[in-house]
Amino acid sequence: SNRRSSSPAFDEPADMTLVHVTMTNNSALSFGGGILSLEPLTIIGSIIAGNTAGVGDGQDLHSNVGPGAEVTNSIVGIEERTLFTAASSGNLVGTVALPVDAALASLAENGGQTQTHAIGSGSPAFDMIPTAECDLSVNGADQRGAARPNGAGCDAGAFEF
């Protein structure tokens, strides 16, 4: 959980790719509570949800880049600017009126070297990514070191249930 005047997570001028990331409980006084992107952005198999921004749009994701972000097999809790095509890329995307609840547990010791937000068995992130589309470029493991996939598919985010 972070808070700052602009996006607490990433607002640096560089191309960025996020793979199996969970970004939640962050806030910004202005745009991009989760991510403010001023450069090309790629998000794969991630959860960007439960963040807040004080003014403007972009509670979870705000991008000022041409066609916006390239997002695949991810959950974005609130997306207000139609930055990408939600359903065609295996995404689950909410709106201000109907945000997506990723059903994440509080940050806790769940094994591994760092704390994680576990997903609940009822989370839409559970087995969200078909096995054939799992991005195993990060050692085929989640943030804790648990093998991916562990079920019918890979879970979105940093935690594999």
Give SS3 for 116.
Answer: strand
User: CA-CA distance, 10 to 16, in Å (whole number)?
Assistant: 9
Residue 66 is encoded by which pair of tokens? 């041409």
- Dihedral (Cα; 101, 72, 150, 157), 10-degree rounding: -50
Backbone angles phi, psi at 113, to 5 degrees: -90, -15
* 106-to-48, 50, 74, 102 alpha-carbon distances in Å: 15, 12, 20, 12
Farthest-apart Cα atoms in the chain, separation: 41
What pLDDT is stored for residue 29 in this prediction? 84
Tens-digit pLDDT profile for residues 36-80? 777 778 889 999 999 988 876 678 887 766 566 788 999 999 887
pTM above 0.75, yes or no: yes
DSSP code string of 75-104: EES---S--S-TGGGT-EE--SSS-----E
Per-residue model confidence as pLDDT tens digits over 103-128: 999 999 999 999 999 998 799 999 99
Give the pLDDT score at 8.
Answer: 46
pLDDT given at position 76: 92
pLDDT in tens, 77-92: 988 765 665 556 899 9
